[in-house]
Copies of this chain bind each other. A is one copy, B any other.
């Protein structure tokens, strides 16, 4: 295994910094290959916690200053987790978020963090999607990635055939129902389209299409905002359970 700057084709990826690395060790320990740290980290509480976790788990911690400098994008990275890429099965009885061809890595990170906040822990990625393991995504989820199940599907049919028990809510600018009037059945799938194209018209025939009312001064809401409001409304009425 040659440790280089991340590329999509790798079958492993990295966490940069203390907190994402701690979350990796806590929530995806089976995927960890090893941890590398800089030599000048004496006295750091975070590094100490990482070393204790690694000892418990039997994971090796190496000192490798130059390797860290070579592969990190930011200065002041003191620790990196190296982990095998993995996929998860989605829970059939839980609510899902379904993203169709999301491309923007910043959106993906924000969305995964929001999912977790509103207790959606299962993410389906349909078609040609941004690389969820890109260190930029990993970083922007602030560790949330490791607490969420996600799985790639070739197309929406493949996803739907696995979860025929779900109620589907595709979000579309010309959706049939105002989100404020939708009673979200459980378990459900909130389906959001690509940043620039949205969902194709064929999604009108899937479940109950939904729109978020907004003024005409904008063409559409940003994907992460539309998804945030979708997840908020999808869990709004039973939020007591979440807390």
Binding site for B on A (CB under 8 A): 106, 110, 113-114, 116-119, 142, 144, 147, 180, 212-215, 217-219, 221-222, 224-225, 228-229, 232, 236, 239, 242-243
Contacts and interface: CB of A to CB of B under 8 A. Distances in A.
Nearest to A218: B117
Contacts of A222: 110, 113-114, 224
A28 to B, nearest CB: 14
A193 B114 CA distance: 18
Nearest to A144: B218
Contacts of A215: 116-119, 242-243
8 contacts: A118-B215, A119-B215, A142-B218, A147-B217, A180-B236, A215-B243, A224-B224, A224-B225
B218 A242 contact: no
A116 B116 CA distance: 27
Contacts of A229: 228-229, 232
A143 to B, nearest CB: 9
